[in-house]
A and B are shown apart, each in its own frame.
Chain A
C-alpha cells in the first residue's frame, strides 16, 4: 500500500458538544462513586436507625461527618456515665458500710446497756477500756463484780444478748479471786473489718 500524505499539519478539532460530552464521560466514574457512597451511607444510617431507634434520635439527618461527631459525643457521654456509676457504687458501698457499722456498734452498745440495766442490782460493772478502730475491730474490756456469790450475771446476760445478734464476736474471760473478792475480767471483741 502506498501511504502518501502531502499535508500532515492538521490537528484534530472537536466541537464544543463533543468536548462537553467527553468531559461528562470522564467525570462519570467520579459521579458514580459519589452516588454509590451516598446510597451506601443512607443504607447504613437507615439500618442504624432500625437497630438503635433511641440512639438514632440524637443522630442528625446530616452528613457522615455529623454522624461521626455524634458518635464521639455518645462515646464521651457513655464514659462520663460509667464514671458516675462507679462513683455512685463507691458511695453506696460506703453508705452501706456506714449503716452496717452503725448497726453493729449500736446493737453492741445497746446490748451492753440493756444487759447492765437488767442486772444493775446484782452486779457492779466497771468499764476498763473501750477501743474502737474503724474498719478493724471494736473491743470492750470490763470488770464484772457480783454482789453475792460467784455468778457473773452481767457477763452471762451480755453474752446471751450478743448471741441473739448477727455479730461475729469473741469473748474472753479471766477470773480474779483476790481475798474475798470474786471478779471477772472480760473482753469482748467484734470484728468490724470491711465496715
Chain B
C-alpha cells in the first residue's frame, strides 16, 4: 500500500546481466532498500533468449514485486535510431507528428509502426534548432515488452528509457554552469559492455549522440577466445577493481593494452567526425573538455588516463564525468542501474538519495 511513500523499481537488462534496484522515496529522501544482479553471460544467451528472460524473472523475484511500484526499464541501444531534425515552429504535439512523418519517409516505415520521442530543449524552439529524436520500431518494442511482461512476469514499465541515456541521469548537471560562453562544446564518452557512445553538448544542451564503434564487448570476445569464462569477465567489468587481477591471472595484459589503445583511437575518430559534422571550426577554442564515464570509477579512470596519455585532440582537457552530489558511494559498480533509478525518482518528485 504505497500511499505515504513510493517505490521505484529500476531494471537494467542486457544480453549479459540483469540488475534491479528498489528505491523507497519518502519525505524528500530516496533510499535504496534492495538490489539484485543475475549474470547470465553464457554462450547462446542473447537478448531476449530463454536464459535472459529467466534471469529477469529470477532477479525480480529476489527484489520483490509490487503492482504499485514505479517501474523504469532500459531499452537496448542497438535497436534505437538517433537523429537530429530541424523543424518549423510548431506546437510540441504537432512537432511530434511532423517528425514522425519525416522519419517515416527517411527510413521507409509507416508512422504507425514507429515509436518516436523527442528531447525538447528548455528554450524556445526555432526552425534552426536541432531536435534530438529517438526512434524505435514499434514491432520490436512490443515484442521486447511483451516477452518481458509475459515470459519473465515483469512489470509494465512507467518509463522505457533508451539504454545509452542512463549515464546522463547520474551526471552532475551543475558542471555545465561553469562553462564559458565562447568555449561551450562538451563531449562525453560513455563506455558500456554492449556499446560505447559519444554525447555532444552545447551550452549544456544535448545536441548529438554518436556511436563509438568499439566497446568492452570486443575485449570480452578476445578474452573468451583465450578461454576465460564470460561470467568471470562480466563480474570483473562490473566491479572494475578486479580487471587488473583478471588481466594478470589470465596473462592477457597485452589484450587490455590493445583494447584501450584501439578504444582511444576510435574515440578520437568519432569526436573528429562529430566536430566536422557539427561544423566546429576552431576546435581548441570552442571545445571545453572531454568527459569520460564507464560502468564504474576504476574503468572511468583507466579510460581517462589512456585518453590523457594519448593527448587526443592535441591535448584536450580530459575529465572524469562528475557524479551527482547525492550519488551513493557504495553503488559505484551499478552506475547504469542507478541512472535508471535516478530517472524514475526524478519523475516522481524532488528526492535526495541517502
Question: A: which residues have CB within 8 A of B?
Answer: 1-7, 10, 12-15, 17-18, 21-22
Contacts and interface: CB of A to CB of B under 8 A. Distances in A.
Contacts of B157: 7, 10
Q: Is the interface of A mostly helix, strand, loop or mixed?
A: loop
B156 interface: yes
Contacts of A12: 68
A25 to B, nearest CB: 8
The B interface, classified by DSSP as helix, strand, loop or mixed, is: mixed
Contacts of B162: 4, 6
Nearest to B156: A10
A6 B157 CA distance: 10
A21 B68 contact: no
Contacts of B134: 4, 6
Interface residues of B, number: 27
A163 B173 CA distance: 126
B260 interface: no
Nearest to B145: A7
Interface of B: 1-3, 67-68, 75, 115, 117, 119-120, 132, 134, 136, 141, 145, 156-162, 165, 168, 173, 206, 346
B67 A5 contact: no
Contact of A18 (B2, B75, B141, B159): B2
Nearest to B136: A6
Contacts of B168: 1-2
Given A5-B160, A7-B115, A14-B67, 20 more contacts: A1-B173, A2-B119, A2-B168, A2-B206, A3-B119, A3-B120, A4-B161, A4-B162, A5-B161, A6-B75, A7-B141, A7-B157, A10-B157, A15-B1, A17-B1, A18-B1, A18-B2, A21-B1, A21-B3, A22-B3
B165 A2 contact: yes
Given A1-B173, A6-B134, A15 B119 contact: no
Contacts of A4: 117, 119, 134, 161-162, 165
A5 B159 contact: yes
A22 B165 CA distance: 36
6 contacts: A3-B119, A4-B117, A5-B117, A6-B115, A14-B67, A15-B1
Nearest to A18: B1
A3 B169 CA distance: 10
**What 7 A-B pairs are tightest by C-beta distance, nearest first?**
A7-B160, A6-B160, A2-B119, A18-B1, A5-B159, A4-B117, A17-B1
Contacts of B68: 12-15, 18
Contacts of A15: 1, 67-68
B202 to A, nearest CB: 14
B81 to A, nearest CB: 12
Contacts of B3: 18, 21-22
A129 B115 CA distance: 131
A129 B189 CA distance: 145
A189 B141 CA distance: 128
A41 B172 CA distance: 62
Nearest to B346: A1
Nearest to A7: B160
Contacts of A2: 119, 132, 165, 168, 206
Nearest to B171: A1
B28 to A, nearest CB: 19
Nearest to B132: A2
Nearest to B115: A6
B178 to A, nearest CB: 18
